[in-house]
């Protein structure tokens, strides 16, 4: 799919991928039956106020730490290697998971985010007469790199 500057990106065009291979040889599998993804970048700040700050009314701030969290929602699908059961296994074993967030249909030159994450929450909802769903929250464990599709 060819994209040009100024094109509006639809939410369905972006996907969270879970590495089902090794960190040396990733095998990217789209999160099964995904319905929504939210990626949040945050900066922790340090405040500096000095005697020569004008009237002491305003402080200077500096970003000291960066963090990334990803929240996803999906339908529960039986036996999927990148779905609820796989994430539950990773959570219970306290393993990091390698994630990639970018276009589901990649073109050369597209940018994506990739890094190691820990699962900080995993919640399943299964109301009568409705599809079973789950939500997961991931927080980065180390750097999250912006990469470009070759």
Q: Which two tokens stand for residue 52?
A: 């020569």
Tell me the domain boundaries of the chain. Answer: 11-49+57-148
Residue with tokens 């040396």, as numbered in its chain: 24
Which architecture, in CATH terms, is 11-49+57-148? Irregular (4.10)
Task: Report if pTM > 0.85.
Answer: yes
Using DSSP's 3-state secondary structure scheme, residue 65 falls into: strand
Task: Yes or no: say if 144 and 68 are a contact pair by the CB < 8 Å rule.
Answer: yes
Gap between the Cα atoms of 80 and 18, Å rounded: 11
Q: Using one digit for the tens of pLDDT, what is the confidence trace for 93-140?
A: 999 999 999 999 888 889 999 999 999 999 999 999 999 999 999 999
| Cβ neighbours around 56 below 10 Å, total | 10
């Amino acid at each position: 799919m060819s994209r040009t500057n100024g094109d509006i990106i639809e939410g369905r065009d972006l996907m969270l991928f879970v590495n089902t291979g090794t960190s040396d040889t990733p095998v990217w599998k789209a999160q099964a039956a995904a319905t929504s993804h939210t990626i949040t970048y945050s900066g922790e700040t340090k405040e500096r106020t000095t005697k020569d700050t004008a009237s002491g009314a305003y402080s200077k701030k500096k970003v000291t730490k960066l963090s990334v969290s990803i929240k996803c929602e999906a339908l529960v699908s039986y036996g999927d290697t990148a779905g609820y059961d796989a994430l539950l296994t990773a959570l219970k074993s306290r393993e990091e998971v390698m994630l990639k967030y970018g276009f589901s249909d990649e073109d050369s030159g597209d940018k994506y985010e990739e890094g190691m994450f820990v699962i900080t929450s995993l919640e399943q909802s299964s109301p009568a007469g409705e599809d079973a769903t789950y939500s997961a929250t991931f927080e980065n464990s180390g750097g999250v790199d912006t990469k470009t599709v070759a």
